[in-house]
Every structure is written in C-alpha cells, then in structure tokens.
Structure 1
Amino acid sequence: MANSKDGTNRNHIKTGLKVNIVLKSDQKTGRLTQGIVKDILTNSPSHPHGIKVRLENGQVGRVKEILD
C-alpha cells in the first residue's frame, strides 16, 4: 500500500505541488532535489520508483516525496 506522501501514484501528483525528486544523476546517492512540478511525464497510473516529473526549473526526476 502506497503512502499518499510518496511519489508512486500519478493521481497524487499535480502541477504546482512542491516535491522532492531524485535526478537520474543522483540515483546512486539518493540525493533529493526540491522543486515545484511543472509537467508530469509518466503516463501510467503508478510507478514503483516514483512518477517522473519536470520541475519549473527544467530538472527531470522521479518523485520521492510530496511536500505540503
């Protein structure tokens, strides 16, 4: 069961949300990058590693947590 604060369910992610993502280059370290969702790039309803998004600053990564 996925927690609503994680980024594995597409319906929990909306444009304008503040999220922590892991960039492709940071996957080995798990370093998180914070930003605001501009575009949702994953089409499937869920993804085990997190929904892929583009932030307003242009960075692309998978959502690890949704911030309030």
Structure 2
Amino acid sequence: MDGTRRKDIKVGTKVLVVQKQDQRSGKVTEGIVKKLLTKSEIHHRGIKVMLENGIVGRVKEIK
C-alpha cells in the first residue's frame, strides 16, 4: 500500500520513508510512525511523518 492517503497511516504503523536528502536516489528507511506531519488528507508524494527514531520523511510504502 502506498503512503499517499493520511487515513491509511496511524501512529505505531511500520512504514518505509524517503528522507529529503535521499529523494534523488530513492533510498528508503524503515521505521515506526511516531507523529504525522502532513495535515492534508492526500499528498501525491506521500504523507510526511516522523519516525520513533526522529527521522522525518515521506511515506513510500506501508508494511
């Protein structure tokens, strides 16, 4: 499942995110959602979240 819809992502969900500096390479980081940062219901590049380890990125895939 992709990460473009806010309703699909909850705190505690395991996700793959792309950090800002990794957008060109497409490198993903796996983690658990601590906080949802995007306020809109849909974002075409992925909902921005903060992971439990403090990393911020846009959700590419929900595990």
Sequence identity percentage: 60
List runs of 5+ in structure 1 lacking aligned partners. Answer: none
Q: CA deviation at 1:60?
A: 0.1
Which residue in the other structure is 1:53 paired with? 49
**Partner SS, residue 54 of structure 1:** strand
List runs of 5+ in structure 2 lacking aligned partners. Answer: none
Which residue in the other structure is 1:26 paired with? 22
Which residue identity lines up with residue 5 of structure 2 in the other structure?
N
Q: Provide Cα deviations, 1:12-58, integer angstroms capped at 9, x if missing partner.
A: 00000000000001000000000000000000000000000000000
Which residue identity lines up with residue 44 of structure 1 in the other structure?
S
Which TM-score applies when normalising by structure 1?
A: 0.92
> Are residue 15 (structure 1) and residue 11 (structure 2) matched?
yes
In the alignment of these two chains, the number of paired residues is: 63
Which TM-score applies when normalising by structure 2?
A: 0.99
**Partner SS, residue 28 of structure 1:** coil
Moved over 2 A (4+): none
RMSD (Å), alpha carbons: 0.2
